[in-house]
Structure 1
């Protein structure tokens, strides 16, 4: 089945276009993730064997290893069950496999995946894996018009391709400004939970600020910066009191860089 394009009109009346990820790219990403998990699982089991063998002169198979074995089983269950859930929520809808294949999980409305959606989507992997080797999930992805498995349908998510990098693209005025100031995403310390509180409305606000940055006079830009900073920065637990005009500008420009990766979708 060919991979399709999908246009979404957000509640904020912003039109977004996505290229849906098909069975091939999703299967490849899943295989990469599974190989990674199998490797980590094997390492954990080997470590258990070595540790338990070193603690007793008895052969491993006749040792009283019920407690360490139970702990290992629980650890492996958490690892294998939480890997997809944690990566998809905290890494912008991308597991390691998805990142390598250039795809990501998002909400049907074009927003980043939520905590609840990530949980439901990955809880449904149990059903999608039936009867064996992810058979049901693959069948659903192949025949569904939007390449969704059951977990995507229940959670209201879809898997799309990342935007393609544009080679030798001319820098925009705001990108030149950020480059001249030597700013990077590392210049603003914001935890993931706070960033998740910012949605499309906040992205539109910061992107408007970046577009108008060079169009305003110095006085108007000072007032505009103060207004935007007072709205956005407290939402990510950053103080504006006592900050200079340049410090507030830098904080907002770095915030623009951070949010741009999640919200500026291009094919």
Structure 2
């Protein structure tokens, strides 16, 4: 069984990133934790719903009128609330926590798109809505076990994969030159950093984190390509003279992080 498969992904910026797939064991552990959290949330919601419904019906029975339509509406609220908690748990965490639910965070795995970028609302929603199908008779587990990219049905439809956390998601360790530090200070006034999307910043971070593993030529070509695309995105007329593409990317990353 391929618990430690590695996969190479090519980003839209032509940067090649390598990841280790999460494996069925880590995913099962994460799902077990998440389902316990969801179950506790549903239990709390059920208790609250029973209490409020009982109070409401007691109040209505003391008044004149036909309130026979109220119980079906209360049941509808319960069903919608249950669905919102179940689906919203996975959607909310995966979108706002960069592909990690509490269970995935504990298991040190993460959901990303097929091109290495962080997932968005559409991908998270598709994965969550198709989760019951994957759970039915462990269909998703079979897809993960026997699929080359270890994807369940929700991953295939959403265009996502689940990878092991590298443990290097924090700010990369950078030895800044004086020129880079000067650009970090002045870049917010020279360029429109708000045009840089979170996906773009994630690609820059991944490159800075993994560039030591690249050959000299590959590192030069990738950094130059990425620097040109970033310069265009933030509407900077030109990369300052005497600054390498690596130094420029370092300055952009730190300028955005420190903003």
TM-score (normalizing by structure 2): 0.63
- 2:177 matches 1:160: no
The alpha carbon displacement at 1:140 in A equals 0.9
- 1:67 maps to what in 2? 73
Deviations 1:69-110 (A, max 9, x none): 321221111111222122212221111211121111111111
Report the Cα distance in structure 1 between the residues aligned to 2:23 and 2:99, rounded to whole angstroms: 16
Write out aligned runs for 1:1-267 (5 A). 1=1, 2-55=3-56, 56=58, 65-131=71-137, 135-164=138-167, 171-174=173-176, 197-200=197-200, 203-204=203-204, 232=234, 253=254, 255-256=256-257
Gapped runs of 5+ residues in structure 2?
A: 62-69, 185-192, 209-229, 236-250
CA shift in 2, pair 1:122/1:52, >3 Å: closer
TM-score (normalizing by structure 1): 0.62
The alpha carbon displacement at 1:256 in A equals 3.5
Q: Secondary structure, in 3 states, of the residue corresponding to 2:162? A: strand
Gapped runs of 5+ residues in structure 1?
A: 59-63, 182-189, 209-227, 234-249, 259-267
CA shift in 2, pair 1:142/1:202, >3 Å: closer
Report the Cα distance in structure 2 between the residues aligned to 1:45 and 1:121, rounded to whole angstroms: 25
The alpha carbon displacement at 1:117 in A equals 2.1
Task: Count residues in correspondence.
Answer: 203
2:30 and 2:107 in contact (8 A); partners too: yes
The alpha carbon displacement at 1:127 in A equals 2.2
Report the Cα distance in structure 2 between the residues aligned to 1:229 and 1:207, rounded to whole angstroms: 16
Report the Cα distance in structure 1 between the residues aligned to 2:205 and 2:80, rounded to whole angstroms: 45
Q: Secondary structure, in 3 states, of the residue corresponding to 2:136? A: coil
Deviations 1:99-158 (A, max 9, x none): 121111111111111332222222222321223xxx101111111112111111122110
1:103 and 1:160 in contact (8 A); partners too: yes
Report the Cα distance in structure 1 between the residues aligned to 2:13 and 2:146, rounded to whole angstroms: 31
